[in-house]
Copies of this chain bind each other. A is one copy, B any other.
């Protein structure tokens, strides 16, 4: 059975605790934590009369806008290569349902890939991430893992990359992406490149998409949930490669989309078209969001490092993936031997909610967990808008207070 997505489940659990009056530092859920940009809300309102069934892949104008988005990022794209859906999850599912073969996953990785592999009857071949960054498999281990998998009867054909990465909050550098892409080409893998956090890379000019390196065999998925904080609107899109593989895949995706979700709701397509045409209001908002996410993630990173954790330095999105291995003696003497026990302890004893690494496919006995820093910006839209405008958001009193609670909680572990 496919279980309730762990990331969504923890969010619902915390909402219940807060409703019961408890103070929780919510680091458990990857929601962008910001209000709707008013100009985007206006576009949705103006589209409220659009009730006709739309084309399965998206309206011509929305697809054109998405093609423009990729064009401006040095990925020349025809509107015919674009597909919209109610969330990028639906597109990831569709691609996995359409493509043959098993799935190679960097580990840890976002909870949904492995669950979708199970749903579509695929095996999962996990490969650890390197020390530099998450979202890609360690190149030195990838080749060996493929050979072992094939020897065991698996048929690895699809490689998921998360660029930038959830859960580690890191963007693999150009060299690493190049190495992994070349290896994928040699091994005849299709790359499924989840780039939903692309706009939130701290230095966006550093982003390298495998679609630029292996254009005929890379599918890029994205959406507006992260960059525009529109998770509740469910707007996803994908760029299908040009060429024979892309043509066949598109035919499959039309079938799956038309029989599972029909199309993205038309008012949402209007909103997507506006955002992806990238007017100044949108790019300004994304620039401010990027600054806020980076500032708070770095502040939280400092706290974890001060508490004795090791942790990759964040350079994208709004996540950290700390490892409390250096605290093993203290944790074991407190009876904590798994990431799940550690996360339960942090929530019950210190009001700090994180998501155990085991949910991301990591070793359950490692003291690793995902920290999402994007729900610290405030409990009202007014606070969140102040956080967006602040040069030093971590110094705002309501954010500083949560960082203090976190600092104290971690201190008490040691």
Residues of A at the B interface (CB closer than 8 Å) are 1-5, 8-9, 11-12, 29, 31, 35-36, 41-42, 44-45, 48-56, 86-87, 89-90, 93, 97, 112, 115-116, 119, 121, 225, 229-234, 251-252, 254-256, 258-268, 381
CA distance A116 to B233 in the complex (A): 25
A93 touching B260 by the CB < 8 A rule? Answer: yes
Partner of A5, one of B8, B31, B41, B56: B56
Q: Of B4, B51, B56, B267, which contacts A8 at CB under 8 A?
A: B56
A8: min CB distance to chain B, Å: 5
Interchain CB contact under 8 A, A41 and B36: no
A234-B261, A261-B90, A267-B44 given as contacts; is B53 within 8 A of A255 (CB)? Answer: no
Set B12, B48, B260: member contacting A41, Cβ < 8 A: B48
| Closest-CB distance, A231 to chain B (whole angstroms) | 4
Chosen A-B contacts, 25 in total, with CB atoms closer than 8 Å, are: A2-B255, A4-B251, A8-B55, A8-B258, A11-B53, A29-B53, A35-B51, A41-B49, A45-B48, A51-B229, A51-B232, A51-B233, A86-B86, A86-B261, A89-B260, A89-B261, A89-B262, A112-B259, A115-B259, A116-B259, A232-B267, A234-B261, A234-B262, A265-B268, A267-B267
CB distance from A274 to the nearest CB of B (A): 13
Closest to A264 in B: B234
Q: Shortest distance in angstroms between A224's beta carbon and chain B's nearest beta carbon? A: 10
In the complex, which of the residues B90, B115, B256 contacts A255, with contact meaning CB atoms closer than 8 Å?
B115
Return chain B residues, CB-CB under 8 Å to A234. 86, 261-265
**Contacts of A4 on B, CB cut-off 8 Å?**
56, 251, 254-255, 258
Besides the known contacts A36-B48, A41-B49, A232-B263, 12 further A-B residue pairs in the complex with CB atoms under 8 A apart: A2-B256, A3-B255, A5-B262, A36-B51, A44-B44, A44-B267, A86-B261, A87-B262, A115-B255, A119-B260, A121-B121, A234-B264
Expressed in whole angstroms, the Cα–Cα distance for A202 and B327 within the complex equals 70
Q: Are B233 and A267 in contact (CB under 8 A)?
A: yes
On whether the beta carbons of A259 and B49 are closer than 8 Å, the reply is no
Q: Which residues of B have CB within 8 Å of A87?
A: 261-262
Residues of B within 8 A of A36 (CB): 48-49, 51
Instruction: Knowing A86-B261, A265-B86 are in contact, say whether A256-B119 is a contact too (CB < 8 A).
Output: yes
Chain B residues with CB below 8 A from A119, complex form: 97, 256, 259-260
Copies of the protein in its oligomer: 2
Chain B residues contacting A1 (CB-CB under 8 Å) are 251-252, 255
- Docked CA distance A36–B260 (Å): 24
Cα–Cα, bound, A29→B381 (Å): 43
Interface centre among A50, A52, A90, A116 (most CB of B within 10 A): A52
- A367 to chain B minimum Cβ distance, whole angstroms, is 27
A252 touches B89 (CB 8 A): no
Docked pose: A308 CA to B254 CA in angstroms: 38
Smallest CB-CB A-B distances: 7 pairs? A2-B255, A5-B258, A232-B266, A41-B48, A45-B45, A53-B231, A86-B86
Chain B residues within an 8 Å CB radius of A12: 55
**Contact assessment for B51 and A230 in the assembled complex, using a CB-CB cutoff below 8 Å:** yes
Contacts of A229 in B (CB 8 A): 51
**Docked CA distance A112–B261 (Å):** 11
Q: Which chain B positions have C-beta within 8 A of A264?
A: 234
Closest partner residue, chain B, to A259 (CB atom): B115
Smallest CB-CB separation from A111: which chain B residue?
B259
Question: B97 to A259, Cβ gap below 8 A?
Answer: no
Task: Report Cα–Cα, A244/B90, bound state, in Å.
Answer: 29
Q: Which residues of B contact A259 (CB under 8 A)?
A: 2, 5, 89, 93, 112, 115-116, 119
**Nearest chain B residue, comparing its CB with the CB of A230:** B51
Bound Cα distance from A56 to B4, whole angstroms: 9
